[in-house]
Amino acid sequence: MTAYPKFTILTAALNSAKTIDKSLGSVCNQTFQNLEQIIVDGRSCDRTIEIIEQHAQYNNLTWFSEPDNGIAEALNKGLKIARGKYIYVLGADDYLIDANVLDNVNEAIQDERHDIYRACA
């Protein structure tokens, strides 16, 4: 039986070299580790791909770069390969505020009275 991750962290990126390092680092630093990270790059022409490749060497990271018609199409491509029970869309210019964000979300979803969750920083 294949063990599926609890969370899929899904990011769409395009020419995000100025921000994506912090975004990827914030996922890498999470104390909750039952996750996969998927990055869909829209064929960046800055250093975005280079930064993603650096992080991919050390993290459970799936990524690909191909042209798309915007963020909605990019996220849909990522959703097609996502395996997590829960999807967390993290912008390439956003980051998880501290190392316990996913632990806190995981704790909140244990309460079965709720169907929708959102996290704000």
Domains within the chain, CATH numbers bracketed? 7-109 (3.90.550.10)
* Per-residue pLDDT at 41 exceeds 70: yes
Q: Residue 62 has which token pair?
A: 């799936």
For residue 75, what pLDDT is reported? Answer: 98
| Element holding 102 (H helix, E strand) | helix 101-109
pLDDT value, residue 115: 67
pLDDT-based confidence at residue 117 (cuts at 50, 70, 90):
low
Whether the predicted pLDDT of 59 surpasses 90? no
Three-state DSSP class for residue 88: strand
pTM assigned to the model: 0.88
Span between the terminal Cα atoms of the chain, in Å: 37
Residue-averaged pLDDT of the chain: 92
